Amino acid sequence: MAPAFYIVNKYPIMPQHLWIKMANLVFELEKKLSTSQPSTGIVRNIDRMKTVLEEAGLLLLNPLGEPYNEARTDLEASITGEATGKLHVLDVIKPIVYTQQEGSRSLLQKGVVIVGNK
**Model pTM score:** 0.85
Alpha-carbon span 47 to 41, nearest angstrom? 10
pLDDT (tens digit, 9 = 90+) per residue, 70-89? 999 999 999 998 878 899 99
- The continuous run of DSSP H or E covering 32 comes out as helix 16-33
pLDDT grade, residue 118 (50/70/90)? Answer: confident
Q: Which residues contact 93 (CB under 8 A, 6 or more apart)?
A: 112, 113, 114
Q: Which residues contact 68 (CB under 8 A, 6 or more apart)?
A: 75, 77, 87, 88, 89, 113, 115
Alpha-carbon span 38 to 29, nearest angstrom? 11
Cα 33–chain centre separation: 15
pLDDT (tens digit, 9 = 90+) per residue, 13-56? 888 899 999 999 999 999 998 888 888 899 999 999 999 999 88
Domain ranges, ordered by start, for the chain? 6-116
C-alpha R_g of the chain: 17
The backbone region for 98, taken as left when phi is positive above 0, alpha when psi lies in -120 to 50, beta otherwise, is: beta
The DSSP-derived string for 8-29 is: ETTEEE--HHHHHHHHHHHHHH
